[in-house]
Structure 1
Amino acid sequence: MIKKWALRAIVAYILFGIAMYAYLFYLADTSIPAALKGTKADPATFLNARELMLTEEYSKIRNLMFFLATPYEWLFYYLILIFGVSAVFERWANGTARFFALRSAIYLFWLSIASFIIMFPLSYLSYTISKSYNISTQVFSSWMKDNIIEFWVDYAMMLVIVTVLYALMRKFKKRWWLAAWVLSIPFSIFMMFIQPVLIDPLYNDFYPLKDKQLEAKILEMADVASIPAEHVYEVDMSNKTNSLNAYVTGVGSNSRIVLWDTTLERLTDEEILFIMAHEMGHYVEKHIYIGIAGYILLTFVGLWLTAKLMERWVNRRGKAWKVDKMTNLSSLPAFLLITSVLLFAASPLTNWVSRHQETRADTYAIKMTHDKEAGVKTFQSLTKAGLSQVNPPYLVKIFRYGHPTMLERIRMIDEYKIKGK
């Protein structure tokens, strides 16, 4: 029976991969609407023939990798569960340590190692593809170092989460999910607080913006927007990527305005100020608080659904998996599988909300800078640097895009009527 279910899962994954390949490479329409031909949103007006070809090729491959990687992770959790491998990891942990926290650490270590090994081929393939299209500039040793750091950072966070989660399952048999939800709120805010000062510096070097004239302009804009910022930071990303980016991260006193050095090197001051105005728009529109509220609501629903589905699944199949009850650590792959599927299912909604907020931030940037030309050139440069499709397929947009498509962003800016102009 187990072999039959495993075979079904593998066949389903292969068929899904074939279907997504056919959709992305043959069926999806990524052409520009006839009405927009020759406009600033038409990539043919700002990309040469080779860049157009590379953009289509790279985007299709990256999108396919995305749709293959997510269910590949589900397949891993499912197979490690039904074949009893998770139960073996728990048996090793129970035979090694007496204390529950230490048993959790040992079990999670083996599960994390197995996950890292299984997911590594896809991760390495993604890295080599980015290198071949000159998006990534990172040498293998540096890339591998980032992967190892990410492994231990994820392991440390998961150890806290798993230890607390299973302790709650044992204490609150039926309402553990509610207690987990309550604790997830301060934990998430705490992680947002320490991210800029403890976690991000593990991967890259951050330092105050060297161009003090540009920093003064950005801080002047921040003052107009009533944003309490004293410094602007730049981060050394040119040794890892040719892509461009800028963002605001953290909460409270640990908030940071950050610019990639690639952005500083390739964009004009006017374009950088437009990006900064966009980021400030998120602050002014209070998107971070809306995001926290949405996260709290989705986490509540997600944990409730996970508890119901997990309990029913383990009760029905637990014996076959050698998982006696839901409070066993060996049930963790079931928890991770269910939450991952629910997050993927919710992504069209969360991405839609995010795209709406990004459009609002773009509008704010136009109103603040009164520089539509800088906005258009910024998004054209981002398209070129990241080899991004201007008009991606519909499924890609709803499942991957937390920002409007470049077609939508450039068109909106180009057609926006500034009052008084």
Structure 2
Amino acid sequence: MVKKWGIAVLLLFGLYALAMYFYIFYGNDGGIPAALQGTVADPATFMTKKELLLSEDYAKIRNFLFFVATPFEWLMYFFVLISGASLLIEKWSDFDMKWKVVKNAIYLFLLLILTFVVFFPLDYYRYNLSKSYGISTQSFSSWMRDNVIDFWVNFVITVLVVTVLYWLINKSPKKWWIPAWLLTIPFSIFIMFIQPVVIDPLYNEFYPLTNKELETKILELAEQANIPSDHVYEVNMAEKTNALNAYVTGVGSNSRIVLWDTTLNRLNEEEILYIMGHEMGHYVEKHIYIGIAGYVLMMLVGLWLISKMMPWIINRFGHVLKIKDVKSIHSLPLILLLSSILLFLSSPISNFVSRYQEQRADEFAMELVQDPEAAVSGFQKLTKAGLSEVNPPTLVKWFRYTHPPMLERINNVAEYMEEK
């Protein structure tokens, strides 16, 4: 029975991967609409033939890897269950000790090590792919250092979350999802509050903007938008990437606007001010808090669905999945599997909301800065630096794009210029 299930799932995964391969490499090519060919939104007007070819190839490979990697994660959790590995890891961690949190920590450490080893070849391929296309500038030692930091940060957070989760499941097997959801609210806010000052500095060095003349202009722009701000931060990303970026992070007193040094080095002052206007738009329209509310709502639905699906799956297929009891931590891979599937299926909705917010931030920046030419040139440089796909296929846009494609963003600015 277990062997048949394993073969069936592998065949299903293979057929899915084959279908996605043909869709991405031979299906919709995401070409430029005839009406926009030759306009400022057309990458042929600001990218070389070599850059266009590299962008097309790079995008297709990355898109295929994305659509294959997520189901591969499901595959791994499935085989961890049906092989009895999860049950075996639980037995290995079940030392004769009083504290449950220590047993959970041992189980999670072994499970995360297994996950790290299984995904390392894929992660390494992605790293090499980014280097070969001139996006990443990061050395292998630096990349490994980030991976090790990722492992330990995830380990600490996961031990805390899983220990509380299984304590709640043992206390109330049917209603555990309610207190679990209530706890996600303060926990999510706490993580977002400490991230800029505790987590992010583990990976990179952050410091106030060194160009004080530019900082003054940015702070004047913030004052114009009624945004309380004392400092804009920059982060040293040039040793890791050639891509450009800026973002808003944190909540409350720890909220800040961050500029990558690559952005400062390769964009002119007007383009940077437009980007800052965009990030200020997120602040003014409360997008961070809307994002938290959306996440909390999705957690409510997700936890409720998992609480209903878990008992049914274990009752029906527990003998195949080697799960004896939902209360035991060896059932965790099933929770992770269901969580990952639900997150993947809901991503088109969350991405749609995110794209709308990004469009609103663009509109805010255009009104605030009043420099559409800088917006167009800035977007063009962002596209070239990251070899971005300006007009992705529909499924790629739905599942991957948290920002509107560059074709849309540049065209929106061009239309704004015409209206003015």
**Residue deviations 1:351-389 (CA, integer Å, cap 9, x gap):** 001111110000000000111001111111111000011
| 2:362 counterpart residue number | 362
Q: CA deviation at 1:34?
A: 0.5
* Contact 2:78–2:321 (8 Å) recurs in 1: no
| 1:31 counterpart residue number | 31
* Contact 1:367–1:418 (8 Å) recurs in 2: no
* Contact 1:359–1:409 (8 Å) recurs in 2: yes
| 1:313 counterpart residue number | 313
* Contact 2:101–2:163 (8 Å) recurs in 1: yes
* Contact 2:89–2:107 (8 Å) recurs in 1: yes
* Structure 2 gaps, min length 5: none
* Contact 2:188–2:292 (8 Å) recurs in 1: no
Partner letter of residue 165 of structure 2? L
Could you say if the C-alpha distance between residues 132 and 417 of structure 1 is closer, same or farther in structure 2, counting changes exceeding 3 Å?
A: closer
Partner Cα separation in structure 2 for residue 10 and residue 305 of structure 1: 26
- TM-score of the pair, normalised by structure 2: 0.98
- TM-score of the pair, normalised by structure 1: 0.98
**Residue deviations 1:206-263 (CA, integer Å, cap 9, x gap):** 1111100000111111112222211111100000000000011000111111100000
Partner Cα separation in structure 1 for residue 289 and residue 139 of structure 2: 38
Partner letter of residue 18 of structure 1? L
| 2:206 counterpart residue number | 206
Partner Cα separation in structure 1 for residue 218 and residue 11 of structure 2: 54
Partner letter of residue 139 of structure 2? V
* Contact 2:250–2:256 (8 Å) recurs in 1: yes
Number of residue pairs aligned between Structure 1 and Structure 2: 420
Query: Is structure 2 residue 270 aligned with structure 1 residue 270?
Result: yes
Q: Secondary structure, in 3 states, of the residue corresponding to 1:86?
A: helix
* Contact 1:96–1:103 (8 Å) recurs in 2: no
**Residue deviations 1:373-410 (CA, integer Å, cap 9, x gap):** 01111111111000011111111000000110101000
Partner Cα separation in structure 2 for residue 417 and residue 189 of structure 1: 39
Q: CA deviation at 1:417?
A: 4.9
Partner Cα separation in structure 1 for residue 118 and residue 97 of structure 2: 26
| 1:220 counterpart residue number | 220
Q: CA deviation at 1:418?
A: 7.9
Query: Where in structure 2 are the equivalents of 1:395-414 lying within 5 Å?
Result: 395-414=395-414
Partner letter of residue 394 of structure 2? Y
Partner letter of residue 213 of structure 2? Q
Q: CA deviation at 1:320?
A: 3.5
**Residue deviations 1:183-202 (CA, integer Å, cap 9, x gap):** 01000000000000000000
Q: Secondary structure, in 3 states, of the residue corresponding to 2:95?
A: helix
Bigger Cα displacement from structure 2, 89-98 vs 291-300: 89-98
Query: Is structure 2 residue 169 aligned with structure 1 residue 151?
Result: no
Q: CA deviation at 1:291?
A: 1.3
Partner letter of residue 387 of structure 1? L
**Residue deviations 1:146-182 (CA, integer Å, cap 9, x gap):** 0000000001000000000000001112110111000
| 1:117 counterpart residue number | 117
Query: Where in structure 2 are the equivalents of 1:231-246 lying within 5 Å?
Result: 231-246=231-246
Partner Cα separation in structure 1 for residue 273 and residue 182 of structure 2: 39
Q: Secondary structure, in 3 states, of the residue corresponding to 2:137?
A: coil
Partner letter of residue 77 of structure 2? Y
Partner Cα separation in structure 2 for residue 119 and residue 98 of structure 1: 33
| 1:384 counterpart residue number | 384
Q: CA deviation at 1:96?
A: 5.2
Query: Where in structure 2 are the equivalents of 1:241-390 lying within 5 Å?
Result: 241-390=241-390
Partner Cα separation in structure 2 for residue 322 and residue 357 of structure 1: 44
The CA RMSD over aligned residues, in Å, is: 1.1
* Contact 1:177–1:303 (8 Å) recurs in 2: yes
Partner Cα separation in structure 2 for residue 409 and residue 375 of structure 1: 9
* Contact 2:86–2:333 (8 Å) recurs in 1: yes
Q: CA deviation at 1:287?
A: 1.3
Q: Secondary structure, in 3 states, of the residue corresponding to 2:247?
A: strand
* Structure 1 gaps, min length 5: none
